[in-house]
Amino acid sequence: MNKTIQLQDLGNKDYKATWEYQEQLFKEIVDLKIRNRREELDLATPNYFLFVEHPHVYTLGKSGDLSNLLLSEKQLAAKGATFYKINRGGDITYHGPGQIVGYPILDLENFFTDIHKYLRFLEEAIILTLQEYGISSGRSEGETGVWLGVGTPFARKICAMGVRASRWVTMHGFALNVNADLGYFDNIIPCGIRGKAVTSLNVELGVEKVNEEEVKQKVLKHFNELFEAKFV
C-alpha cells in the first residue's frame, strides 16, 4: 500500500487542459494496476492531488440535465465562460477565480475500497477546514458536498463535489468557494437543486479576501489526517 501522495499546484489552468492531464494520470495508474494483475507483479501505484484554479467554466456531469444551464452559447461567450460535458457524477457546477479546486487522483486500494467513505472523507476535510475559520458546516441528506445552515430556510452550499472512479482509481473532486464571484452561479441551477443558495468563505466571514494559500494548507492537513497519507 502506497500512501504517499504527489502534490501538484497547477495555478490558474484551463479546464480542458486540466481534465486531459487528470485523464493522463488516471490512465497511468489504471494501466499499472492492469499490468500488476496480468503479470502477477506488485508494483506500487502512485497517487496524486492536484490543486487548480480555473477560468470561468461550467461543467455538466454525465447524469446532469442541460436545461440547468441558463445561458446560450452567445451569452456564455459574452461572460468569458466555457462549457463542457464531462465524465464525473453530479449535475452542473461552476468553476472560476477565487475557488479552490482539488482533484485527488488516488488508487483507493492504497487506502480503502469504499467510494461512499471516500466522498464522506472529502466532505469531512472541508468541514474541518471551515471549522478552523469558526464556520459550522455539514452535509445535506441526499446532496453531496458541504453546506451551511442545513435544515433552515437559509441553507447554502459552499463546496461542490463530483467524482469518477474506475478500478478503485478516482478523479475529479471538490470545488470550495473561497473568494468566488457568486454572480456566476445565477446562470445555472447549481447541481440541479432549485431554491438553494450558494455562498463563499469570504462572504461568510464578512471580509473582502481570504488567504487562499492558507485555506489550501488547512485542507491538506485534514485530508492527510483522514487518509493517513503523506504528501510529497
What burial class does residue 5 get, using C-beta atoms within 10 Å of its C-beta: 0-12 exposed, 13-18 middle, 19+ buried? Answer: buried
Q: Which three cell numbers stand for residue 13?
A: 489552468
Contacts with 157 (C-beta within 8 Å, 6 or more apart), sequence order: 140, 145, 146, 147, 148, 190, 191, 193, 196, 197, 198, 199
Starting at the earlier edge strand, list the strands of the sheet with 57-60: 82-85, 57-60, 92-95
Amino acid at 32: L
Sign of the dihedral defined by the CA atoms of residues 212, 217, 223, 227, in that order: positive
In the annotated binding site for substrate, the residues are: 88-95, 160-162, 173-175
Asked if 159 is an active-site residue, the reply is no
Lookup: cell for 18: 486540466
Active site residue: 52, 60, 119, 191, which one? 191
The residues annotated with a catalytic role in the active site are: 191
